[in-house]
């Protein structure tokens, strides 16, 4: 069933068939499934009836022998002769209503659900195809030739079936076959409209055919519930409603592969095995586990696909063991969090302001469209999400935009002003409640060069070799801080911070902050100066 449905979806996506043809094919598959399911039930019913008849037959024979020999003083041979004949006769008579009942039940149970009623289906299946009548007539005729059977009734019924089949064949030969007519293709195919243009899914998850049980809601697929949990968690963390994830199967993928796409573009893919668990090495384990070596798709850690029976052993060795649905959900969560700024559009921004207007109507009325157009506000919010700053404090953000919107409509300038107003929450997300903030700074000479370049050209221009050395040095410092369990923070001048943040964004766990974003009550501990 899943394979046939995926083949229909593949033909539909490839344009081989249209929506109407796909609907008809899905209906045929559904009818086929209903038929085989009903036949299974009918066979069980008939089998039960046959077993009951055999049991009754043996009970009558044994009971007749006992009664004949004990109560009627018959010899064993006479008792066998008399009561066997009586039992067979009684069985034949009893099978007539049983046969009729089984036939009626079989007709009702094996009925395929359609818009036709029972009479139309029986007529179409019996009297539209002569082969059905021919087979029925042959079987009944053979039964009529057996000695001792009601030959006249069976042979008459066989002749009637043969006559009906002959008339059907003769009528089909007489009926003219309609000649194919050449029609105008434009007159048959409906005119194209905008409804034929499928919108691009904002968040998409495509799976191979072996992963369908993970996302089948009718079978309580575990991945569906995990994805809902991911959406809820991200919505709470980011401060806006994350769009639904559109799940579909894709025959072009490997059977165990999945692909995550954002606005129609793939942003990540990997493979999982639904019959195995993933044992992830968190950095310190006490032994090696046997399994298929791989990498955790979310964070790139060393991992092994192991059997379910090895789960406890892997946990005792220090591995983090997760099921396939958790692997996919974690990968999805990590990618969506990294690309949160692409999830926010004008519609989501308008909903944020509508919610804010319910509690602060004057603020929203002053902000847009008087001071700033919606496009500028959306761009500022996207800049904040790109810097991993949530939008939960939308009121503070709107107040800052209303304060600075009269002086500038540059999204970068407004984003910097919002960052300063959110400085306390930014530092709290980076370092928590610790009284001191360990920071890295730039060498004074290097910082002077960067400041002069930013003031003269409005942008920072450095040699590629210098940028590469700076990137390498900051990567090493960030790794050292991560090993020590400390946050990696680079503190720079406000005019340099946007450029440094964009250039060093791919350094894991490195936060680039400006001097004016640090709260006044937070002490700074300088660790090293990067030259």
What is the torsion angle, in degrees rounded to the nearest 10, for the CA atoms of residue 287, residue 289, residue 294 and residue 299? -50
Write down the pLDDT at residue 329. Answer: 94
- Give residue 189's pLDDT: 59
Query: Using CA atoms, how far apart are residues 71 and 246, in angstroms rounded to an integer?
Result: 79
Asked if residue 443 lies in contact with residue 530, where contact means CB atoms within 8 angstroms, the answer is: yes
- Under 8 Å between Cβ of 112 and 31: yes
Report DSSP state, residue 211.
G
Answer whether 0.95 is exceeded by the pTM: no
- What was the pLDDT predicted at 80? 82
Matching residue, tokens 């905008």: 194
What lies within 8 Å, CB to CB, of 298 at 6+ separation is 327, 330, 331, 333, 334
Helix-helix angle 411-421:423-431, to 10 degrees: 70
Q: Say what the pLDDT of residue 490 is.
A: 92
| Calpha distance 321→206 (Å, rounded) | 24
What pLDDT score does 158 carry?
86
17 vs 184: CA distance, rounded Å:
19
Give, as one character, the DSSP assignment of residue 517.
G
- Kindly list the distances between the CA atom of residue 493 and the CA atoms of 120, 416, 457, 490, 496, in Å, as whole numbers in the listed order: 84, 12, 16, 10, 5
Give me the tens of pLDDT residue by residue for the chain, a chain 531 residues long: 666 766 677 666 666 677 778 788 877 877 777 767 766 666 676 677 778 777 887 888 888 888 888 887 788 888 888 888 888 777 667 667 767 766 666 666 555 555 556 666 666 666 667 787 888 888 888 888 888 778 888 888 888 888 888 888 887 776 555 555 544 545 455 677 777 777 888 999 999 999 999 998 777 789 999 999 999 999 999 999 999 999 999 988 999 999 999 998 999 999 999 999 999 998 888 889 999 999 999 989 999 999 999 999 999 999 999 999 999 999 999 999 999 999 999 999 999 999 999 999 999 999 988 899 999 999 999 999 999 999 999 999 999 999 999 899 999 999 999 999 999 999 998 888 888 899 999 888 888 888 877 776 566 667 788 888 888 999 999 888 888 888 899 999 888 888 888 888 888 889 999 999 998 888 898 888 888
**pLDDT score, position 147:** 81
pLDDT for res 118: 60
Please give the domain boundaries of the chain with CATH numbers for all domains: 2-174 (no CATH), 203-339 (3.40.30.60), 344-421 (1.10.8.540), 433-530 (3.40.50.12790)
- For 75-103, b/e burial (b = at least 16 CB within 10 A) is eeeebbeebeeebeeebeeeeeeeeeebe
Sorted by sequence, the CB contacts under 8 Å of residue 525 that are 6+ apart come out as 436, 437, 438, 439
Nearest to 442 by CA among 474, 481, 420: 474
Query: What SS3 class is residue 259?
Result: strand
Q: SS3 for 416?
A: helix
CA distance 429 to 233: 16
Q: Which long-range contacts (CB under 8 A, 24 or more apart) does 419-426 make?
A: 419/384, 419/387, 419/389, 419/514, 419/517, 420/514, 420/516, 420/517, 421/396, 421/397, 422/389, 422/393, 422/396, 422/397, 423/516, 423/517, 423/518, 423/519, 424/519, 425/393, 426/389, 426/513, 426/517
CA distance 351 to 348: 5
**Separation CA 414–CA 398 (nearest Å):** 11
Contact 474, 507 (CB under 8 A): yes
Q: Which residue has the tokens 């559904």?
A: 30
Q: What is the pLDDT of residue 340?
A: 94
What dihedral do alpha carbons 403, 409, 415, 416 form, nearest 10°? -80
- Cα 405 from Cα 417, distance rounded (Å): 10
Residues 6+ apart with CB under 8 A from 300: none
In angstroms and rounded to an integer, the radius of gyration of the C-alpha atoms of the chain is 39
DSSP string, 89-157: HHHHHHHHHHHHHHHHHHHHHTPPP-SS-HHHHHHHHHHS-HHHHHHHHHHHHHHHTSTTS-HHHHHHH
Which residues lie closer than 8 Å to 362 by C-beta, 6 or more apart?
none
Residues whose CB is less than 8 angstroms from the CB of residue 352 and which lie 6 or more positions away in sequence, other chains included: 239, 240, 381, 391, 394
pLDDT of residue 450: 81
**The pair of three-digit structure tokens given for residue 480, joined into one six-digit string:** 């050292």
């Amino acid at each position: 069933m899943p394979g046939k449905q995926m083949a229909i979806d593949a033909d539909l996506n490839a344009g081989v068939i249209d929506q109407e043809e796909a609907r008809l094919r899905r209906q045929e598959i559904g009818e086929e499934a209903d038929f085989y399911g009903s036949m299974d039930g009918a066979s069980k019913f008939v089998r039960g009836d046959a077993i009951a008849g055999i049991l009754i037959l043996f009970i009558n024979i044994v009971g007749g022998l006992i009664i004949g020999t004990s109560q009627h003083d018959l010899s064993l041979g006479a008792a066998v002769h008399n009561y066997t004949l009586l039992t067979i006769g009684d069985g034949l008579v009893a099978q007539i209503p049983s046969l009729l009942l089984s036939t009626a039940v079989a007709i009702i149970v094996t009925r395929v659900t359609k818009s036709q009623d029972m009479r139309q289906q029986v007529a179409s299946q019996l009297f539209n195809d002569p082969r059905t009548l021919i087979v029925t007539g042959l079987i009944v005729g053979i039964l009529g030739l057996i000695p001792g059977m009601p030959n006249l009734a069976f042979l008459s019924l066989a002749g009637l079936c043969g006559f009906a089949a002959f008339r059907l064949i003769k009528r089909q030969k007489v009926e003219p076959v309609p000649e194919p007519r050449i029609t105008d293709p434009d007159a048959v195919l409906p005119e194209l409209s905008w409804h034929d243009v499928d919108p691009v899914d904002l968040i998409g998850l495509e799976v191979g055919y072996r992963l369908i049980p993970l996302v089948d809601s009718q079978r309580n697929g575990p991945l569906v519930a995990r994805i809902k949990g991911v959406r809820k968690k991200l919505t709470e963390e980011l401060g806006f409603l994350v769009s639904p994830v559109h799940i579909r199967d894709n025959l072009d993928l490997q059977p165990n592969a999945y692909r995550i796409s954002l606005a129609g573009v793939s942003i990540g893919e990997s493979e999982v095995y639904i019959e195995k668990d993933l044992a992830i090495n968190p950095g310190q384990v006490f032994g090696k586990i046997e399994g298929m070596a791989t990498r955790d798709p979310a964070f790139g850690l060393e991992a092994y696909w192991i059997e379910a029976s090895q789960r406890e052993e892997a946990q005792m060795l220090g591995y983090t063991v997760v099921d396939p649905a958790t692997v996919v959900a974690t990968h999805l969560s990590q990618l969506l969090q990294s690309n949160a700024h692409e999830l926010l559009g004008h519609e989501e921004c308008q909903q944020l302001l509508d919610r804010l207007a319910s509690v602060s109507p004057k603020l929203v009325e002053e902000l847009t469209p008087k001071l700033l157009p919606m496009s500028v506000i959306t761009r500022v919010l996207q800049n904040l999400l790109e810097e991993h700053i949530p939008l939960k404090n939308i009121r503070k953000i709107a107040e800052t935009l209303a304060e600075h919107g009269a002086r500038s409509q540059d999204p970068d300038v407004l984003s910097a002003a919002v960052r300063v107003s959110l400085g306390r929450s930014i530092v709290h997300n980076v370092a928590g409640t610790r009284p001191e903030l360990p920071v890295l700074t730039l060498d004074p000479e290097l910082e002077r060069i960067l400041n002069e370049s930013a003031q003269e050209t409005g942008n920072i221009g450095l040699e590629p070799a210098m940028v590469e050395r700076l990137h390498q040095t900051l990567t090493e410092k960030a790794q050292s801080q991560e090993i020590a369990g400390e946050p990696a923070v680079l503190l720079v001048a406000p005019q340099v911070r946007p450029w440094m943040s964009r250039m060093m964004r791919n350094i894991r766990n490195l936060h680039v902050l400006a001097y004016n974003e640090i709260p006044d009550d937070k002490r700074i501990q300088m660790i090293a100066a990067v030259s």
